[in-house]
Amino acid sequence: MNLHEYQGKSILASYGVAVQRGIVVESVEESVAKAKELNKQTGTEWFVVKAQIHAGGRGKGIVTETGSNGVVLAKGLDKVEEKVKGILGGHLVTKQTSKDGKKSK
């Protein structure tokens, strides 16, 4: 069975397991808007941006088009767009993918 992290968290949460809150986005524009909402709700200034692929090692993986890792920290609202552009739609190569990687969502 292949599940993305956000899907697994949703299943766990449905059974009452405490999970960290996250928001799935599909565009750079949506990510900035959601980060602003999260900032208003929680006051946070830092945002973790994660590629969603069916493979482990995303934090050490490399997005071939940008050189970004698959898990990055945006230290401020002004950094969210840049970090998301470095991941979204790129091909992430990890120890569990082929040399061509998998397209990140």
Domain ranges, ordered by start, for the chain: 24-103
What count of other Cβ atoms lies within 10 Å of the Cβ of residue 68?
23
Q: Which amino acid is at 23?
A: I
- Above 90 in pLDDT, residue 75? yes
- Global pTM reads 0.83
pLDDT tens digits, one per residue of 37-65? 999 999 999 999 999 888 889 889 999 99
Residue 88, classed as helix, strand or coil, is coil
CATH class entry, domain 24-103: alpha beta
CA distance 55 to 47: 22
